Amino acid sequence: MCEFSKRSGMRVSGTGTKPVSLERLDEEGVVAIHEASMRVLEDLGVQVDNERARSIFAEHGCTVDDEGVVTVPRDLIEESVRKAPSEFTLHARNPENDVDVGGDAPPVRAPGIGPRHVHTLGDGRREARLSDYETLLKLAQVEDVVTCTGYRLCEPGDLRPGGKPTELLERALTLTDKPVMGSARGAERAQACMDMVGIAMDDPGLGDPCVAGLVNTAPPRRIDAEMLDGLMTYAEPGQPPIVSSFTMAGASGPSTLAGSMVQTNAENLVGITLTQLVNPGCPVIYGAPTANVDARYGSLSIGSPESALFVSFAARMGRHYDVPSRAGGALSDAKTVDYQSGFESAFLGTVTALSGVDFVLFAAGILESYAAISPAKFALDCEAIRYVDRFRSGYPVDEESLALDRMAETGPAGHFVGDPERDGTDGGFFRSAVLEKRSYEDWAEDGRKSAVELGHQRVRACLDAYERPPVDRDVERNLARYVKQHAPE
């Protein structure tokens, strides 16, 4: 175990523990990535485009040059990372929907952020609308495998840009009662999210972690001013930033996987360090949405095997630094809901689940390398998650499940039809509520529905089942008043 690690040993796979069977970075590799990252941070530095952040780093012994490039001593990084908690609870408006992030808890799953286009069965591909955003919120509320509402599930084109952050968050806080995410782009937007979540939680000071904010770096080796303002605004009241280096190997990062991993790690460590300098002990998440660029087309490839290797890397480094990790999800470069979107998303989603990632952003519905979302794919991806969760749950091996008594009762050439049914939680058989499992004849007689049509059918069923969670009238009124007061002129 590397000297820096806060733990004396690795977690062991088994019931109730995080699986690590898909590990692709051994201990020697972890040490090499960490040491190379220290060289980057101590010798090359990261450009910090924020005067307040530069001042904080300088006050703690960092060197800041005339271009705003900050070099950070190893000791400060390691001391700061040690202060970050290994797990925390993200609270929801409905306490029954609180989620644990990190440790041995199951992964938190949130939809994506910011797709500008939506694919529907009736319209095909088009610009996202506010009605699409509300549909996706309702799906997030109904689908049990989605445990965090997220933020900006799509980018509605029919909202004024200046009003989007508050209007979208207001709907997330009233149409759902699961944990939320908020904007981290700039101090003003971030503070508005703090204020609104404080209203919804009836806790203006936000004494508990209640909203997570995605803080993207700007590779190579740079973090912009607005994201740093957002990070510090979240950190001050102890709300968790998800620090994520969106390095694209072969474009904004080196063309080798290891080189881009070093850059990703270095940028993340700067963000985590700043979080702890602002508020020691503030929860923070280590994020790596890192992927490669397909050199043939110059396009981002999030549905690639290399993207899956970055997922495994994120989980591994999160365990090494003993902080929760973020990566992966139902990622695909496909341009429509088809075989490619299915196998890429299922592959990336399975690697995400079995690598031990703690917080899954873009967990369902994603197409076009983050640029689009499909409600039907959202529903199908949720079913794929249930498949993986069933696999993760395993099966019992005990006197009852060995079924020797039933075998003794059933002679050769007999059958076991009519055995007592058991549900999927105790080793029984999973029954899909979405996918086609009947005979060809029954399927054909019932309209020959494709998987895409079944996904749309599931969407309709979820929307029919949706019930708006109760909201205190004063809370709803105060949220509406806040949004109106902060609406653009």
Count other C-beta atoms under 10 Å from residue 443's C-beta: 13
Amino acid at 8: S
**Residue ranges covered by each domain of the chain:** 27-76, 82-392
What are the C-alpha distances in Å from 226 to residues 162, 164, 248, 290?
15, 17, 21, 21
**CA-to-CA distance for 266 and 142, rounded, in angstroms?**
38
Best CA proximity match to 386, nearest among 421, 430, 341: 430
Q: How far apart are CA 372 and CA 10, in angstroms?
A: 38
- Per-residue pLDDT in tens (0 to 9) along the chain, 489 residues: 455 555 444 333 334 455 446 788 999 999 999 999 999 999 999 999 999 999 999 999 999 999 999 999 999 999 999 999 999 999 999 999 999 999 999 999 999 999 999 999 999 999 999 999 999 999 999 999 999 999 999 999 998 876 789 999 999 999 999 999 999 999 999 999 999 999 999 999 999 999 999 999 999 999 999 999 999 999 999 999 999 999 999 999 999 999 999 999 999 999 999 999 999 999 999 999 999 999 999 999 999 999 999 999 999 999 999 999 999 999 999 999 999 999 999 999 999 999 999 999 999 999 999 999 999 999 999 999 999 999 999 989 999 889 899 899 999 999 988 776 554 444 478 999 999 999 999 999 999 999 999 999 999 999 999 999 999 999 999 999 999 998 876
Distance CA 94, CA 86 (A): 24
CATH topology of domain 82-392: TIM Barrel (3.20.20)
